[in-house]
Structure 1
C-alpha cells in the first residue's frame, strides 16, 4: 500500500506498508489519528477516514484516465472532448509548477478554475445524453461523483493536481510483485516494506542505495538510540563521523 500525504514542502521520503489484504482497516491503521489532505483514487478503504476528518483530495490523473482509456479503445468523440479540458488544466499546472504555493493558488483560481467549471458543466450536460450503463456514462459518473474532491487542489497551492508522484514510487514494487509473489509471512512482508522504504527514499535524496545501506549498517551497532533518526535517508550525511 502506498499513500501520498504530500505538500511541496515535505522532505523527500516514501513509506511503504505491507498488509495481508486490501481491507480498509489497514489504511486506517497506517494513517492512525493523522488528519490532513489525502490525495487518492476512489479506493473504498479510505472512505471511513474521510468521515473521521481526513480531507479527500481527488486525483485528476485518475479522472482523466477514464476518458483516455475510452478514447484509445474506441476513439470515443465524447472522451476526446473531455481530454481537451484535462489537457488545458495540465498545461496551466506545468506553468505554475515553479511558482510559490500562493502564486500557484492564484494562477489556478484565475485560469484553471474557469476551465474546471466548464468541464463540470459539460460533463453534467453529456450525462443526460449518453446511454445509462454505457462506458462513457461510467466515466462521467466517476468524475461527477467525486467532483468536489477533484477540484480541491485549485484553492490550495501546496497540493498537486494528482497523485502521480506516489504512483511512480509504487511502480517498481508493482512491477516486481510478480517475482516476489510470496514473502513467507506477515513479519517478512513488513521487513520488505521497511527495506524498500529506505531504498526508495535514498534514491529520492540522491544517494546510492548500496552506499547508503552499507554506511548505515556499519554505524548501527554503535549509534546512540537518541540519534538514530540522523540515519534516515533525508537526514543522512555520509561525511558525518559515526557516534560511539
Structure 2
C-alpha cells in the first residue's frame, strides 16, 4: 500500500480554531495486479495514530515518506520514498547550477539517456549535492527500465543492478562532512536515517522505489483546495473524502468519471440496501466497465427509465 497526507482547513471543528490545520490522509493499493483502490480519510490532525487506526488489520509493505508517524502502524514493513531523498539533494544545489541538471521522474513518458555515475577522479570537480543527485537519478533510470517486467523479473533485475549503486552511494555518504544546518546536511541526514527503509522496496518486485502514486493523489486534492479554500464543517470534509475516493478510483480504472457518477447516482436509490447491486456499481465491475468506458446515450437512461442491474 501507499500512504500520504496533506493539509486542509475546517472552519467549524469542535475544539479547534477556524484557522488551525487539519489533514486529508490518502491510502491506495499498490502494484499487486488487483483493481486499484484510492481512499481519502479526513482527520483532525497528523498524529501517527490516525494511520494506525485506518490501517488496523493490514499486514504488508507500506510505502510512505520519512514521516515518523507511520512508525506507529503495526505489522507493516515501511518502504521509504527515494523521491524525497532525491529532491533534498536537488534543492541543495545552487540555483544557477541546478538549471543545467535534470531531476528524473520515474513516471515521465519522456525518453531519457542513461545518467552516468561520476568517476572517482571527476567527483572533486562536482559539488557533493550533484553527486548525490547523480546516484538518485541512476536508480530512478534503472527502475524505469524495469517497469514493465513481472514482479519476479523486476526483483531479480533490481538486486542485480541497483544494489551496487546503493552500496556505492552509502560508501560515498560516509566520506562527507557537510556544513551544519545546510541543505546538504539535511539531505545526508535523511539518507542516513532511512538507510534501511529506502532499500526495503528491493524485497518485493511489486513494490516501487518512490511514493509518487500517493503524492499524485494528494496533489489532486491540493488542486481542488486552491479553488474551494476550506471546508465549513467536519461533515463537509468527510463528504469530500468520499467524493475524492470515488473519483480518483474511477480515474485509476480509466473510466469516464462523469458517466460513472451519473450511473452510480442513477442506480443507488434502488440498490443501496442490496450488496449484490452495490457490487455491480463498483468501478471494476464488468457492468461499469461496459457502461463507463465509452460514450453512451444518457437520454435513454433516466431516473424514470433505465435497465435494471444484472443481479
Q: Same fold (TM over 0.5)?
A: yes
Residue matched to 1:71: 93
Residue matched to 1:39: 63
Residue matched to 2:54: 30
TM-score (norm 1): 0.91
Q: Does 1:122 align with 2:172?
A: yes
Q: CA RMSD in A?
A: 1.9
- How far apart, in 2, do the equivalents of 1:236 and 1:43 lie? 39
Question: Structure 1 residues 72, 7: closer, same or farther in 2, change over 3 A?
Answer: farther
Residue matched to 2:130: 80
TM-score (norm 2): 0.72
- Higher RCO (CA 8 Å, separation ≥ 6 residues): 1
Question: Structure 1 residues 47, 189: closer, same or farther in 2, change over 3 A?
Answer: same
Question: Structure 1 residues 8, 73: closer, same or farther in 2, change over 3 A?
Answer: farther
Could you say what secondary structure the match of 1:42 adopts? coil
More strand by share: 2
Superposed CA deviations along residues 30-70 of structure 1, whole A, max 9, x for unmatched, are: 11221211111112221211xx3211101011111110111
Q: Is the 8 A contact 1:36 1:54 kept in 2?
A: yes
Structure 1 residue 193: deviation in Å? 0.7
> Which of 172, 197, 217 is the aligned partner of 2:265?
217
Structure 1 residue 72: deviation in Å? 5.0
Q: Is the 8 A contact 1:4 1:163 kept in 2?
A: no
Could you say what secondary structure the match of 1:56 adopts? strand
More helix by share: 1
Q: Is the 8 A contact 2:82 2:210 kept in 1?
A: yes
- How far apart, in 2, do the equivalents of 1:60 and 1:205 lie? 26
- How far apart, in 2, do the equivalents of 1:150 and 1:42 lie? 9
Gaps of 5+ in 1: none
Superposed CA deviations along residues 106-129 of structure 1, whole A, max 9, x for unmatched, are: 100111110011111111221xx2
Structure 1 residue 230: deviation in Å? 2.3
Give 1:1-244 correspondences, 5 Å limit: 1-49=25-73, 52-71=74-93, 73=95, 75=97, 77-126=127-176, 129-223=177-271, 225-227=274-276, 228-235=278-285, 237-238=287-288, 239=290, 241-243=307-309
- How far apart, in 1, do the equivalents of 2:33 and 2:217 lie? 18
- How far apart, in 2, do the equivalents of 1:74 and 1:119 lie? 25
Question: Structure 1 residues 144, 74: closer, same or farther in 2, change over 3 A?
Answer: farther
Q: Is the 8 A contact 1:63 1:142 kept in 2?
A: yes
Q: Is the 8 A contact 1:14 1:200 kept in 2?
A: yes
Structure 1 residue 197: deviation in Å? 0.9
Could you say what secondary structure the match of 2:27 adopts? coil
Could you say what secondary structure the match of 2:287 adopts? coil
Structure 1 residue 235: deviation in Å? 2.2
Which protein has the larger Cα radius of gyration, Structure 1 or Structure 2?
A: 2
Q: Is the 8 A contact 1:4 1:38 kept in 2?
A: no
